[in-house]
Amino acid sequence: MGEAKMPYSLNSKAVAQATKAWLHTRGVRVEEIAELVMLLQRKYYPSLTMEECVHNVEMVLSKREVQNAVLTGIQLDVMAEEGKLFPPLQDMIENDEGLYGVDEILAFSIVNVYGSIGFTNYGYVDKLKPGVLERLNDKSTGEVHTFLDDIVGAVAAAASSRIAHRKQAEREQDLGLPHQPEELEAASAPKADGTGKEPLE
């Protein structure tokens, strides 16, 4: 509102960077999410590598819908940790109240990005709480991760869905079947390096 204030304009890169930075600040590494993906998918794709899992987690985290959910969830966790929320909301989030389901709702908006096939994987890891999820659920630390633990499970579930879609595309490509139109479009987009050249040449 001051004289020098720039008019607002969405900066997608800043949102993406903040997402990455806040995950790091809250102690979650991409590799840990990738380990959840590996746990969920290795029985379906025995040759799946950790590198692929990491890559797919990064692709999920590059989606705007996912970034918005991650930032909003971590924001609420942090405010709860600092004791700054309205009284009954503070209590519910601080204590990871079982009947408070907004964390699951945000998690679901993440899973949904790659379609309904990820619902099952989300529920499964959220129930078993392997690896990083166990640590995020440790209530003895004074940290609050009511949203983040669901979000991390959801990102892993979404990455698993993404792998399933991609593996099918690879299989069909091996059989000589054509690409999906959306990939064709993306493939013919202007080059990211700004040279404006046709890609892949």
Range 2-41, binding its own copies (CB under 8 A): 8-16, 18, 22
Say whether 149 sits in a helix, a strand or coil.
helix
Residue 112 engages its own copies in binding (rule: CB under 8 A): yes
Q: DSSP secondary-structure letter at 190?
A: P
Per CB under 8 A, contacts with its own copies among 75-94 are: 75-76, 79, 84-89, 91-92, 94
Find out whether 148 and 74 touch, Cβ atoms under 8 Å: yes
Per-residue interface string for the shown chain with its own copies, residues 171-200, x marking contact by CB under 8 A: xxx--xxxxxxxxxxxxxxxxx-x--xxxx
Size of the site for its own copies (CB under 8 A): 92
Instruction: State the minimum distance, in angstroms, from the CB of residue 16 to its own copies.
Output: 8
Three-state DSSP string of 112-138: HHHCHHHHHHHHHHHHHCCCHHHHHCC
Residue 87 Cβ vs its own copies, minimum distance, rounded to whole Å: 7
Q: Which stretch binds its own copies (CB under 8 A): 31-39, 103-111, 130-138?
A: 103-111
- If DSSP codes are grouped into helix, strand and coil, which group holds residue 28? coil
Phi, psi (degrees; rounded to nearest 5) at 11: -115, 95
